[in-house]
Structure 1
Amino acid sequence: MDVEILARIQFAFTVSFHYIYPPLSIGLGLIMVIFEGLYVKTKKRDYEILARFWTKIFALTFGIGVATGIVMEFEFGTNWATYSKYVGDIFGSALAAEGIFAFALESGFLGVLLFGWNRVKPWVHLMATIGVFLGSMFSAVWIVVANSWQQTPAGYHIVGEGMKARAEITDFWEMVFNPSSVDRLLHVWIGAFLAGVFLILSVHAYYLLKGRYVEISKKAFKITLIVATVASLAQLAAGHKSADGVAKNQPAKLAALEGHFDANAPADMYLAGWVNTDEEKVTGLKIPGGLSFLIDYNFDAPVKGLNAFSKEDRPSAINGIFQFYHIMVAIGIFLIVLTLYASYLMYQGKLFNKRWLLLVFVFAVFLPQIANQVGWFAAEMGRQPWVVYGLLRTSDALSKVVTANQIVFSLIMFTLVYLVLLLLFLYLLNKKIKHGPYDDEEDTDRPLQKEISNVFNS
């Protein structure tokens, strides 16, 4: 493999592994605020126990997320030096804003969140929880803004020529509110909510199936299911709005997402299929004119296809982009059906009688994570061959002195380190889940064991 492919693989690997954790932190933070808010309002002990328990899980995901995110910043300098010089003014502003508005907020309240139980008043601790949650949300803002600028550049001008060219900000707020940033941010936020809430649903469904912590798990499951249902439906609207932006600002990417080759013809919408790039056709299940309708509300409206662009200006891995995009959409539809059905059963009072449904929720924890990952793959691969859309090609963004052997060696080392971190994360997560939400001395679900223990101790 050449240096460009290896550098892209390395960055994709490190980003993908890192992106397991921030969405969990954001989603868990939302539910922590809800649980603790209910405790402050009602003074019911169960809500405090749930808030404490999920704060421990949050701390684990937050710590691993910070550790895995540092590597990417070094990769900008080692593998992508030309890119870093070109977008340094843009990224520098966004990352500085992240430090001021996000990290400062998170770090300022994180100590109170983790160690303030029984040391500050409940409402003060709630404010700290809200502060950490908002900090995680703001952190996503500036990362998405920086990435969205690469997709739809705005508020800049180019200084210098040739290899010395670089982008400088002319309007900070135009850069922040570039044509795709708001739509993509909402899409990312909701995806993060889904990742966090489905972890909570999975764990409490597991407890219910095992007959452990039954009453408190029922409360947690009902509350979280409502959030999951709203988020699943909201993601449908946010995803559609984001796709409208892609149709307007990145027509080559839209054509790749649906495997649409004709330069100017009505476009079908595929539910599933396979793209044959040699024959320039898609085989699969489709809605004729469906993409045209989604864009212009007209089944016969022409849509610009891949053949309207020169081959060097359009994505190359069309089938991969197509598959990743449709996996994301399929998961999104499944989550809507799953949560609506479960909500209906909850309304009927039959939710916890369906053991097969609880088992589905146990394993559904993986689906939002997969959707988040493949969604980003489709977005980033669809931007190719540009690292900054229409301005800087990926092939021109590489460092000029890095060799393939150096990237391979560092990729192997990163893989080993990240494997250790993943195993550590899974071990600690499993340990906390098996321990359960109660401290040993207040575990109300094990009265018989306590009585036996008391007899032997006496």
Structure 2
Amino acid sequence: MDALFLSRLQFAAATMFHFIFVPLTLGLSILVAVMETKYVTSGNETYKKMAKFWGKLFLINFALGVVTGITLEFQFGTNWSRYSAYVGDIFGSLLAIEATVAFFLESTFIAVWVFGWDKLSPKMHCAAIWIVAIASNLSGLWILLANGFMQNPVGYTLQNGRAELANFLDVITNPFGWMQFFHVIPASLIVAGFFIMGISAWHLLRGSHTDFFQKSMRVGIYAALIFSLFTAFEGHMHGNEVAQVQPAKLAAMEAHWETTDYAPMYLLQIPDVKNEENLIEAFPIPGLLSLLAFNDPSATVQGLKDFPKDQRPPVMLTFLSFRAMVGLGTLFIVLAGLAWLVRNRLTDYPMLLKALVWTIPLPYLAHQFGWIVAEVGRQPWVVYGLMRTSEGVSPAVTTTQVGFSLAALVGMYLLLGAADIFLLFKYARKGPQ
């Protein structure tokens, strides 16, 4: 193992662990704001209790999530200095806006919301949580636009051996970045929806605070169902964008080796990367891959063999991650749909309630698989088509240094993860005060 591999492993570990906290923060902030809005408009005290209870879990997740994100910023300078020098003019400006506008707005008003229950009018207090929710998701937007530049570089010019900002409007209207935003935010609402559904189901199975958790369950059901359907639809549009901008990623996602028109999709595939073929191709649906990629069943889809081997992403990991993400997304639609159908008599279906409890981790996994597809599928490029990942690593960093910092990082994250699980479990079990 060299410094490049360990640096990639370290950044992947930090990103994936940080992203355990991000989706719940983004999604739950919106749903807590919805609950408090219901309280303000209806005067029903149960919704106030709901906002406080779920808001407490949101705050735990938010606080620990902030800590886990700090290390990512440092790694751009310590492990990826060449990358930072190459795209800092563009990437840095987007992250600076995220930090100085969205994050500080979010941090300020979260304090107003926490300490303002008895000091502000209900409408002003409700406005505070909406500002937190909007700022949180704006923070996500700026970060995804920065990642969108890495996926589809636009608005730049190459000067003095680096990418320099030429058109800021092109950067912030990058369609790839916006596609990611409209995929990640609804997916975060799925995480929050199933989080609420799972905890509510746990309490309903025990008959505790029945009215409170039935109302909470409804919020979770509607969020999970609506945004599971929306994410599936947007995922198709996102796939169209990937087909246009990153055809090698699309080919890896589908283990598609030969360029062909009327490209089929196989319901069962097992790739054989070494021999550049699939061991099994069963149950083909003619033209479906062409239709999904280009909205035309006769369209030509490039195969992996069209790309040099050193420009192909890791096929097996990308392929399996994509299949897992899509499979889990389908499961979410089914479960949320079933819960919606029996929403008025959920206690009559204990098996469904138990399934919802065990489903809590699955949307998190779907998020992780999605990011593996996005980031591993972009390889070998750190900035697609411009800079290879191997060219972005810091020249002075040593294998020993990265290995030591990786071990320390993993140790710290294990402690933070254990603290998060303990606190969420503790306060979720207690129920509303």
Please indicate the TM-score interval, normalised by the length of the shorter structure. over 0.9
Alpha-carbon shift at residue 114 of structure 1 (Å): 1.0
CA distance in 1, matches of 2:41, 2:175: 41
Amino acid at match of 2:237: K
Unmatched 5+ stretches in structure 2: none
Alignment coverage as a number of residue pairs: 431
Q: Is contact 1:271–1:326 with CA below 8 Å preserved after alignment?
A: no
What root-mean-square deviation, in Å, do the aligned CA atoms of Structure 1 and Structure 2 show? 1.3
Alpha-carbon shift at residue 3 of structure 1 (Å): 2.0
Q: Pairwise mapping of residues 151-190 of structure 1 onto structure 2 (< 5 A)?
A: 151-160=151-160, 165-190=161-186
Partner-residue secondary structure (3-state), 2:164: strand
- After superposition, give the CA deviation of every residue in 1:363-402 in whole Å (9 maximum; x if it has no partner): 1111110110010001111111110000001111111111
- 2:259 pairs with 1:263: yes
Unmatched 5+ stretches in structure 1: 439-458
Partner-residue secondary structure (3-state), 2:432: coil
Partner-residue secondary structure (3-state), 2:204: helix
Q: Pairwise mapping of residues 1-150 of structure 1 onto structure 2 (< 5 A)?
A: 1-150=1-150
- 2:233 pairs with 1:237: yes
| Aligned partner (choices 299, 317, 331) of residue 334 of structure 1 | 331
Aligned residue number for residue 315 of structure 2: 318
- 2:386 pairs with 1:404: no
CA distance in 1, matches of 2:244, 2:287: 18
Alpha-carbon shift at residue 284 of structure 1 (Å): 4.7
| Aligned partner (choices 354, 359, 376) of residue 381 of structure 1 | 376
Amino acid at match of 2:427: K
Aligned residue number for residue 301 of structure 1: 299
Alpha-carbon shift at residue 297 of structure 1 (Å): 4.0
Amino acid at match of 2:119: R
Q: 1:120 to 1:272 in 2, by over 3 A?
A: farther
Partner-residue secondary structure (3-state), 2:237: helix
Q: Is contact 1:264–1:308 with CA below 8 Å preserved after alignment?
A: no
CA distance in 1, matches of 2:47, 2:225: 21
Q: Is contact 2:192–2:220 with CA below 8 Å preserved after alignment?
A: no
Amino acid at match of 2:306: A
Per mean C-alpha deviation after superposition, the further-off stretch among 138-147 and 1-10 is: 1-10
CA distance in 1, matches of 2:320, 2:264: 15
CA distance in 2, matches of 1:152, 1:414: 30
Alpha-carbon shift at residue 299 of structure 1 (Å): 3.5
- After superposition, give the CA deviation of every residue in 1:422-457 in whole Å (9 maximum; x if it has no partner): 11111111111122112xxxxxxxxxxxxxxxxxxx
CA distance in 2, matches of 1:213, 1:249: 51
CA distance in 1, matches of 2:286, 2:402: 45
Partner-residue secondary structure (3-state), 2:274: coil
- After superposition, give the CA deviation of every residue in 1:264-322 in whole Å (9 maximum; x if it has no partner): 4443324443210122222254433321121344434321111111111221x201100
Q: Is contact 1:259–1:318 with CA below 8 Å preserved after alignment?
A: yes
- 2:363 pairs with 1:368: yes
Q: Percent identity?
A: 40
Q: Is contact 1:83–1:398 with CA below 8 Å preserved after alignment?
A: yes
Aligned residue number for residue 352 of structure 1: 347
Per mean C-alpha deviation after superposition, the further-off stretch among 143-152 and 280-289 is: 280-289
Partner-residue secondary structure (3-state), 1:237: helix
Q: Is contact 2:26–2:188 with CA below 8 Å preserved after alignment?
A: yes
Partner-residue secondary structure (3-state), 2:393: coil
TM-score by length of 1: 0.92
Larger Rg: 1
CA distance in 1, matches of 2:249, 2:110: 40
Q: Is contact 2:240–2:294 with CA below 8 Å preserved after alignment?
A: no
Alpha-carbon shift at residue 126 of structure 1 (Å): 0.2
Amino acid at match of 1:314: R
Partner-residue secondary structure (3-state), 1:136: helix
- 2:211 pairs with 1:211: no
Per mean C-alpha deviation after superposition, the further-off stretch among 4-13 and 100-109 is: 100-109
CA distance in 1, matches of 2:219, 2:55: 17
CA distance in 2, matches of 1:302, 1:412: 46
Amino acid at match of 1:332: G
Q: Is contact 1:206–1:362 with CA below 8 Å preserved after alignment?
A: yes
Partner-residue secondary structure (3-state), 1:247: helix
Alpha-carbon shift at residue 45 of structure 1 (Å): 0.9
Q: Is contact 2:193–2:219 with CA below 8 Å preserved after alignment?
A: no
Q: Is contact 2:27–2:191 with CA below 8 Å preserved after alignment?
A: yes
Q: Is contact 2:157–2:164 with CA below 8 Å preserved after alignment?
A: yes
Partner-residue secondary structure (3-state), 1:368: helix
CA distance in 2, matches of 1:271, 1:227: 29
CA distance in 2, matches of 1:362, 1:424: 20
CA distance in 2, matches of 1:413, 1:395: 24
